Amino acid sequence: MTATTLESTTRPTDPIARQAHKARQLLTASTKHSYDPELDIDWTAPLTPGKWFLPEHRCTLYGTDLWNRLTMEQKLAVSREEMASSMALGVWTEHMLLQLVARYVYDRDIATPAVQFALTEVADEVRHMIMFANVVESIGATTYAVPWKVRESGRLLKTAFPVQGLWALILLTEEIFDRIQREIAADESAQPVIRAMSRIHVVEEARHISFARAELDTFVPSLNKAELAGLRTVLALTMYTFGQELFNPEMYRRAGLDPREARKAAMSNPANKATFAWAAKRVVTHYREIGLIGGSSEKIWRAGGFL
């Protein structure tokens, strides 16, 4: 093996060099595996009758008495509106990341690989936001407003919270969306446009998740006890709120159901806790490893159904 090959395959031990090494790898991957949804998704293709917008067993009402009373047409309408509603949270997440990255690069050298990859993320996220909006339109739904509590908490967090801590917040939602979309991308019962969107998002977000994990692995060990406890609490409360807002009564109303009855049935549905725990498994495992779940914060995670 030549010295050049050895250098290119050996992972540096110095944190700064390791960060640059990771960023270079991700920049290379971005060059080779990026998409333009405007060109790579057939937006003119008609919907396929009888196919789901969200896998049936991931719908919030699945398995309830209310679900069992619905016609197939009503069930498909619920899955469409749940997908459209989740796209609103997806856009919010991407918007948060855009502003996080702007703060991250502001005082850094634009010639460094980490900053250049962060800016590459901005380009990815802009495309994703537009892609989500186009998906909502293509499935015959209309856009949803992000719930007030989520929007206002985000307004505070994106401007006042430490940048490295915001990577942790973003990683939460990105990891959960990633697990669900990996399932959708492989699900032949899902609408083709939903599968295409999921495949693109999974490939490109894998790089973002990898970068965020690397940043956190360096940042968390530097925290003192009080800082760690504060970050744990913010993450747990954010996750709890995020879970509650997935039961948006408006999506049930648009699907033709009584929003109060449907939300009550969904929130008491044990299948949802199972889905939450399944979707959060990877991020929960990582956060336990680096110390971001523990102490009193664990009770909040458990109350939200994510453990």
Contacts of 126 (CB under 8 A, 6+ apart): 98
More confident residue, 146 or 249: 249
What is the pLDDT at residue 8? Answer: 43
What is the pLDDT at residue 10? Answer: 55
Question: Which whole-number Å values give the CA distances from 160 to 94, 157, 164, 238, in the listed order?
Answer: 18, 5, 12, 15
Confidence band, pLDDT 50/70/90 cuts, at residue 156? confident
What is the pLDDT at residue 146? Answer: 85
Least confident of 8-22, 58-72, 246-260: 8-22
What is the pLDDT at residue 6? Answer: 36
Confidence band, pLDDT 50/70/90 cuts, at residue 66? very high
Q: Which of 18, 76, 97 is nearest to 254 (CA)?
A: 76
Mean pLDDT on 33-60: 92
Does the pLDDT of residue 60 top 70, yes or no? yes
259 and 249 Cβ atoms separated by less than 8 Å = yes
Mean pLDDT on 37-65: 95
When the candidates are 1.10.10.10, 1.10.3720.10, 3.90.226.10, 1.10.620.20, the CATH number that belongs to 49-303 is: 1.10.620.20
Say what angle helices 148-160 and 72-106 make with each other, to 10 degrees. Answer: 20
| Residue ranges covered by each domain of the chain | 49-303
Single-letter residue type at 194? I
Does the pLDDT of residue 211 top 90, yes or no? no
Confidence band, pLDDT 50/70/90 cuts, at residue 73? very high
What are the structure tokens assigned to 232, written together?
């744990």
Q: Which of 15, 7, 5, 2 is nearest to 219 (CA)?
A: 15
Confidence band, pLDDT 50/70/90 cuts, at residue 206? confident
Q: How far is CA 22 from the centre of its chain?
A: 21
Question: Which whole-number Å values give the CA distances from 139 to 82, 101, 118, 133, 240, in the listed order?
Answer: 12, 31, 32, 10, 29
Q: How far apart are the first and last CA of the chain?
A: 46
More confident residue, 66 or 246: 66
Q: Return mean pLDDT, the chain.
A: 88
Q: Which of 219, 5, 209 is nearest to 117 (CA)?
A: 209
DSSP 190: B
Torsion sign (Cα): 51, 57, 58, 61: positive
- If you count DSSP H runs as helices and E runs as strands, how many of each does the chain have, helices first? 14, 0
